[in-house]
Structure 1
Amino acid sequence: MMEPPSSMRSPHVEMKSLQLDDRTELESADSGIADVDELPVPQHILISNITCDSFKISWNMDSRGQDRITHYFIDLNKKEDKSSNKFKHMDVPTKLVAKVVPLPMTVRGHWFLSPRTEYTVAVQTATKQHDGEYAVSAWSEIIEFCTADYSTIQLRQLLQKAEAIAGRVLPFTIFYRNQQREYFQPNRDAQCFHMLPSVKDNSGSHGSPISGKLEGIFFSCNTEFNTGRPPQDSPYGPYRFQIQADLLFNQNTNIYFGDFYCMYTSYHYVIVVLAPSNSKGDIFCRGKLPALDRSNNCFLSCTEEEDGSLSFHHAQDVILEVIYTEPVDLSLGMVSQISGHQLMSLSTLNAKKDPSCKICNISVGR
């Protein structure tokens, strides 16, 4: 069960699975069947064209015995667990068998390849014999590589899923950020009256290109439908900074879709990025994230009215996390204590996405 359905299969490669648990068993099962010294050992393994769920592999071989090779064996393991091939989907092994094809050869499959994950790979050459067993060469050297982030193609698939559940929109007028009191103290850093961007943590989708890379400040804008005001509860602290929406989101601000995920709960989170035009954050997002129409999208919109004023709306049926990519002057807003509780269970800090959710996962993995 190496490959996805035939419609997704590489036209040059046919992959099958071997029901074996580790490399030692593979060698002991096959090495006595034929003279393995006659088969060349792959050398100088090269990994290229890496995506979030595929890669190309090629190698060099001695000419001796090449005409006997009928198959290649590929041993793929997550780097953090080299001694085991155990994956979440136990029916999908990582011992792969490919019929001989011209190199480089594409290895593709979201069932065993996750984005932004380190793997090791080694290769054998093999000959299938009349009794159906294989004679194999020695294993090649072990090569390490890391799969890539989601591309804009995968992010657009995720965007479409998020748009399907965003629901109706509600008006709002302020962005807010909750923290502990010390966070807002004026002597907390060299730029003493500013909140400064920091690198986003690894919460959300495993393949999102903003995790661990994009610098920004998290804000919320969600309101309670019955009051039209921000909720009084927060998982991040009892003190809240509030700023008028038009100071962060206006005609000079570009908006991007960043992620869509849940944490084993019934409610879902959408991350959008607000980046002033031509800022460092804006340059980072171009080409990496799907751009949204500022005045017409399902999640967070800014519309200019006839009198020149701006009106703002947010999606009702998802929890929006807004990343603003530039420093924010504390003097532009106000800090006050909220009356609600700290609901730590709602924190998304380094939260892991539910990989089994059919609503917020796409075919390339978590």
Structure 2
Amino acid sequence: MNMMEPLHSSMNHPTVELKSLQLCDREGTESADSGIGDVDDLPVPQQIQISNITCDSFKISWDMDSRGRERITHYFIDLNKKENKKENKFKHKDVPTKLVAKAVPLPMTVRGHWFLSPRTEYTVAVQTAAKQPDGDYSVSQWSEIIEFCTADYSTAHLNQLLQKAEAIAGRMLPFTVFYRNQQREYFQQASPSYRSRDAQCRRMLPAVKDNSGSHGSPISSKLEGIFFSCNTEFNTGKPPQDSPYGPYRFQIQADLLFNHNTNIYFGDFYCMYTSYHYVILVLAPDGSKGDVFCKGRLPALDRSNNCFLTCTEEDDGSLSFCHAQDVILEVIYTEPVDLILGTVSQISGHQLMSLSTLNAKKDPSCKICNISVGR
């Protein structure tokens, strides 16, 4: 079995960050499986506790009897995604999930973006082991199985995404309106099938964001808002006539949603196995429910000086707006919007459903929009 020393192996360290924990390779797994057929009377881990959970790490500790503790040389940690929950044993043909570490003081940190993903449910079980002179192992019985869920991206991770997005945003182009496409029924008086409308059908209401984009984005399935677009065609300077979301378009003057009273936040950067890259921005009126949600969770942007969406005041007091040319912006406005503030009309283009981002999955292999933590 391929064993790797932890980053710190001194017993004087109460917490050990196991950056060099690794999955057992298949060849080593098979030989190890044949060498640990007998369960020894080593102490069984009990009362497992998971703490300090991030998007790609967690701390683990447990209690165990003192009898036989001095014989323990290693810990075996079986980590599985909850949806793939299986018996705790070494795998032969499947990709193994066994993590191996030398016995170190508890709690210890399990870290690794190559096997831990953000916002994912896992099961974990532990057994203690004693390495024999011939290289085989005697092991304890398995502990109970504990379930836990990894966390969202932290603001530090989102800042990494932000920097990657800034690198490809391109030059800024002027625009004057935000727009939102939907089916005709969405804008009609009787539209009970749309929960993002009020009973009188006079307002668009915030709805919970879906799971599109980066798996670790803290806004997915949590932030409430209304999606708008603002990208323009390069040759006309106007919104495109095609849309994946419906042939009817609501347009509203940009300054009604984005002004000196609006805070802007970076929410996500992703692609869907295509050359297009999407940036999600959040527009939240200062002090609003959405603003409170975003503060401390998302990187705040300077409304007049950022790479994606700007609002600047001209000499005459009017506001002018620009958007990034080389990314597709998805703008979430966190408050209700009255239909009377804008206009609804039919577009002349097509519904390009292939461009829909509804629950779209991020390409985990893209080097442009991924960072060095779980996808």
* TM-score tier after normalising by the smaller chain length: over 0.9
| 2:40 pairs with 1:36 | yes
> Which of 207, 222, 232 does residue 223 from structure 1 map onto?
232
Query: Unpaired runs of 5+ in structure 1?
Result: none
| 2:28 pairs with 1:19 | no
TM-score by length of 1: 0.92
Q: After superposition, what is the alpha-carbon deviation per residue over 1:78-123, rounded to whole angstroms, capped at 9, x for unaligned?
A: 00011289xxxx9974201111111111000000000000000000
Q: Counterpart in 2 of 1:177?
A: 180
SS at match of 1:36: coil
Aligned partners of 1:30 and 1:136 also within 8 Å: yes
SS at match of 2:125: strand
> Which of 91, 104, 107 does residue 101 from structure 1 map onto?
104
Task: Trace 1:84-99 onto structure 2 (pairs within 5 A).
Answer: 93-99=96-102
Q: Counterpart in 1 of 2:258?
A: 249
Q: Counterpart in 2 of 1:281?
A: 290
Aligned partners of 2:182 and 2:247 also within 8 Å: yes
Q: Counterpart in 2 of 1:203?
A: 212
1:252/1:91 CA distance change after superposition, 3 Å: farther
Aligned partners of 2:215 and 2:362 also within 8 Å: yes
1:242/1:84 CA distance change after superposition, 3 Å: farther
CA distance in 1, matches of 2:17, 2:332: 43
> Which of 116, 129, 134 does residue 132 from structure 2 map onto?
129
CA distance in 1, matches of 2:31, 2:121: 24
CA positional deviation for 1:207: 0.2
Letter in 2 for 1:146: C
Letter in 2 for 1:259: D
> Which of 158, 180, 184 does residue 155 from structure 1 map onto?
158
TM-score by length of 2: 0.90
Kindly tell me the number of residue pairs found equivalent between the two proteins: 356
1:84/1:309 CA distance change after superposition, 3 Å: farther
1:26/1:43 CA distance change after superposition, 3 Å: farther
Larger displacement relative to structure 2 (157-166 or 76-85): 76-85
Q: Counterpart in 2 of 1:115?
A: 118
CA positional deviation for 1:161: 0.3
* Identity among equivalent pairs (%): 81
Q: Counterpart in 2 of 1:306?
A: 315
CA distance in 1, matches of 2:371, 2:85: 27
Letter in 1 for 2:199: A
Q: Over aligned residues, Cα RMSD in angstroms?
A: 2.4
CA positional deviation for 1:129: 1.2
Aligned partners of 1:256 and 1:290 also within 8 Å: yes
